[in-house]
Amino acid sequence: MTLTARIARTPPRHTRSATTPLRTLTALAVTAVFITPVYLVLVNTFKPGADIFAHPGAFPSHPTLTHVRNVTDRPDDLFWTGLMNSVQVTALSVIGSTVLSALLAHYLARTNTRVARILTLLILAGLMIPTTVTLEPITEVLGRVNLMGSVLGLVLANIAANLPFGVLLFMGFVRNIPLELEEAAALDGSGPLRTFWSIVFPLLRPAAASVLILTAVGVWNDFVTPLIVLGPANGGTVTVGMYREISEHVTDYGAVFAFMVLATIPILILFLFFQRYFVKGLLGGATKG
């Protein structure tokens, strides 16, 4: 590249110096919008009740774990029951969504037939339909097979809701895997399922991590589906328990904030554990295929 071309491509110094502070201020403003609610929840979790009302935005001068103990030591075990239900439902939903999405994506990506293309369009059309719209027919189907009010019914509803996104993400990765690997395994006598689990699925780890995290976050934070499917008589998840913690006449806002913090810890640990695969999986699914 000639010196003249380099000079032409280099932006003026005054333009760069003017945009850099603007970008910094914009980034700080956006960060403040997202971090302020988190900050308020955290600081008010460890404040005495009187300080929450008097100085809600101030840092706790006398930190206390009273609100945390009030949540964890409730006689009805509201938090622990919801936590156990959420862990169970999230784990089963994540495993089911990830496995079924990977298997279906592999079939659709490797099958070049009219039926496969139509099936792909029908599955991906589910991305355009809000979950709340499909909730009524889902509950009707679950009622017909006697799964309303059961954990299995809630898990099946979650799998159905997250299947389209998983298929879309996995298909991009499957199409990037050389077909020769599977053909070589078939020549060695490996069956389709063994080839998938031994060769294809290990190469889908970044996509699987992305599907796992996004499905887990969605299922963990879901409120409407477990509230309707499980019902009040069969317990609820941690989000339903948080709703029950807040009543019309609530005055212990510290306990509400503590419930929020405790309910966030498990899913935050999961994200930190899989974060190195998360961005890689999203970028790979967006650019491959």
Each of the 289 residues of the chain gets a pLDDT tens digit; together they read 554 555 455 555 554 555 688 888 888 889 888 898 888 889 888 888 788 888 888 888 888 888 888 888 888 888 888 899 999 999 999 999 999 999 999 999 888 888 888 988 888 888 888 877 888 888 899 999 998 888 899 999 999 889 998 998 898 888 888 888 888 888 888 888 888 888 888 888 888 888 888 899 999 999 889 988 887 666 688 888 887 777 656 667 888 888 889 999 988 888 888 777 666 655 554 444 4
Helix (H) or strand (E) holding 160: helix 151-174
- The CATH fold assigned to 78-248+266-287 is MetI-like fold (1.10.3720)
Task: Say which residues have a Cβ less than 8 Å from residue 88's Cβ, sequence separation at least 6.
Answer: 151
- Expressed in angstroms, the distance from the first to the final Cα of the chain is 34
Which DSSP category does 122 fall into? H
Amino acid present at 286: A
The structure tokens listed for 184 are: 């070589």
* The pLDDT value given to residue 220: 93
Instruction: Report which of 90, 51, 89, 86 is spatially closest to residue 67, judged by C-alpha positions.
Output: 51
* The pLDDT value given to residue 89: 93
* The pLDDT value given to residue 235: 64
* The pLDDT value given to residue 273: 80
Task: Say which residues have a Cβ less than 8 Å from residue 262's Cβ, sequence separation at least 6.
Answer: 68, 71, 72, 79, 83
CA–CA separation, 82 vs 135, rounded Å? Answer: 21
CA–CA separation, 142 vs 120, rounded Å? Answer: 25
* The pLDDT value given to residue 7: 46
CATH 1.10.3720.10 spans which residues of the chain? 78-248+266-287
Amino acid present at 157: A
The structure tokens listed for 150 are: 């059961």
* The pLDDT value given to residue 92: 95
CA–CA separation, 176 vs 204, rounded Å? Answer: 10
The structure tokens listed for 15 are: 């333009």
Distances (CA, A) of 162 to 118, 180, 217: 19, 30, 11
